[in-house]
Amino acid sequence: MDLYPLYNSVRIALISTVIIFFIGTASAYYISRLPRAVKGVLDVLLTIPLVLPPTVIGYLLLRILGPHRLVGGFFLEWFDLRLTMNWWSTVFATTVVSFPLMYRTCRGVFESFDVNITQAAQTLGLSNTYIFWRLMLPVCKSGIIAGLVLSFTRALGEYGATSMVSGYIPHETATISTTVYQLWRTENDDLAVRWVLINLLISFVVLFFMNMLENRRKRI
């Protein structure tokens, strides 16, 4: 049994989760401080990938990153770098699809943070950067971890956008999801079931870990 799809899926999910952590927390922090009208518009824009079909997201990414499109054509012409049909091009798809989960979770915990603590810290002359990293993140860490776990599991199981942006190339772009589809298409049900069980096991372990952290937080 070739384990490359497992390795590739976990690698892609981890990379996209790291990217989402920085982009998602920063976006949630700054947007939570904006006026309600502006916040509402940005919320809609940043949450759209959560409700769009993954194939639509994949199509839109191809319109941007394809070799004959603006961004993809630029990188291909000037750097000889193709932004689609590579293993790492899947990171674009998983990041876009999973980002709203991290953003919405972080924005919720940031908005529930006691504003009195922030104001007290500011009166002591502490910078907003210090307040964010040393006060807000430790207090909101449970919600942030929950967002990271949800983003990771979503990226791990992504299929629609992934299949359009990177396709299925054995030992190069194959992931668990695209491998399951390929095995089903070729009527190799026994091996497809094995991959489904592997995906279920990983998702179960990750979510079980998240629940343990949540229960531990409630006991503290």
- Of 62, 54, 64, residue with least CA distance to 178: 54
Question: Does the pLDDT value for residue 220 go beyond 60?
Answer: no
Q: What's the chain's average pLDDT? A: 88
Per-residue CA distances from 87 to 26, 104, 182 (Å): 27, 28, 17
Which pLDDT belongs to residue 216? Answer: 66
Inter-residue contact 31 to 39 (CB < 8 Å): yes
Mean pLDDT within 22-44 = 88
At 118-162, the pLDDT tens digits run 888 888 888 888 888 888 888 888 888 888 988 999 999 899 999
pLDDT at 205: 86
Residue-wise pLDDT tens digits, 165-185: 998 999 999 999 999 999 998
pTM of the model: 0.88
**Closest-CA residue to 158 (of 42, 1, 20):** 20
Tens digit of each residue's pLDDT (9 = 90 or more) over 77-117: 888 889 999 999 999 999 999 999 999 999 888 888 888 88
What is the C-alpha separation between 139 and 9, in angstroms, rounded?
Answer: 31
Spell out the SS3 assignment of the chain. Answer: CCCHHHHHHHHHHHHHHHHHHHHHHHHHHHHCCCCHHHHHHHHHHHHHHHHCCHHHHHHHHHHHHCCCCHHHHHHHHHHCCCCCCCCCHHHHHHHHHHHHHHHHHHHHHHHCCCHHHHHHHHHCCCCHHHHHHHHHHHHCHHHHHHHHHHHHHHHHCCCHHHHHHCCCCCCCCCCHHHHHHHHHHCCCHHHHHHHHHHHHHHHHHHHHHHHHHHHHHHHC
CA distance 198 to 88: 22
Q: What is the pLDDT at residue 218?
A: 62
What Rg, from alpha-carbon coordinates, does the chain have?
Answer: 20
Taking alpha carbons only, the member of 28, 10, 12 closest to residue 144 is 28
At 175 the pLDDT is 93
Higher-confidence residue: 142 or 215?
A: 142
Q: How many residues does the chain have?
A: 220
pLDDT of residue 36: 83
